[in-house]
Structures are given as C-alpha cells and as structure tokens.
Amino acid sequence: MSAGLMTFSCSIFLMACGNDTATSTTTMDSTANAVTQDSVISYDISLVDNKKDPTCGMPVTAGISDTAHYDNKVLGFCAAGCKEEFLKNPKANIAAAEMK
C-alpha cells in the first residue's frame, strides 16, 4: 500500500432485543496516524408514544434502539429487526404497542 493511501474500517454492533444501546466504532488507519471514535445511541422513553415494542412485546423501559413514525405517533423498538418486522404489517401489530 502506498504512503498516500488510508485504510478505513467501520464496525457497527447492534445489540439484540433487550439491550438499550447500539454501539458503533470507526477506525481510520494510515502510516501517520490512527483515529478511533466510539459512540452510543439511545433514545429517551419520554419521546415515544408506546409502552411496549409492538413486535416482540418488550417494555420500552428496557431500552429503545430504533424508532419509527406511524399514524402520527412515534414508536420505540428494542431493535432494528423489530422495527423492520413491524413496518411489514403495522396495522396487525399496533395493538401490541400499548399506546400511552
């Protein structure tokens, strides 16, 4: 590899259902320096209109790692996979959300 080229690696770790944070780590390496950046994404439960994840039924008080807007409401989900599943058929799953 030439001295002018940089290598870039990015890892995103999304926690499984039941965890309240998603972590991403970005590392840039070159012959001159290395930079590492860690960030944690979490959402405040007061910002969502549901008491439970509408897909898996987990209480939002256990943690929210993703959100979606549906029917003029903000819904919290424990994982991106739960959000994706909900969006496939929201009308069938909205009752499980136990709206506030």
Tell me, what's the pLDDT at 4?
Answer: 44
| Domain limits, the chain | 7-97
Mean of the per-residue pLDDT values of the chain: 74
80: phi then psi, degrees, rounded to nearest 5: -60, -35
Place of tokens 């499980």: 96
Q: How confident is the model at residue 40 (pLDDT cuts 50, 70, 90)?
A: low
pLDDT at 83: 97
For 41-82, what is each residue's pLDDT tens digit? 678 889 999 999 999 999 999 999 999 999 999 999 999 999
**Sequence letter at residue 91:** K
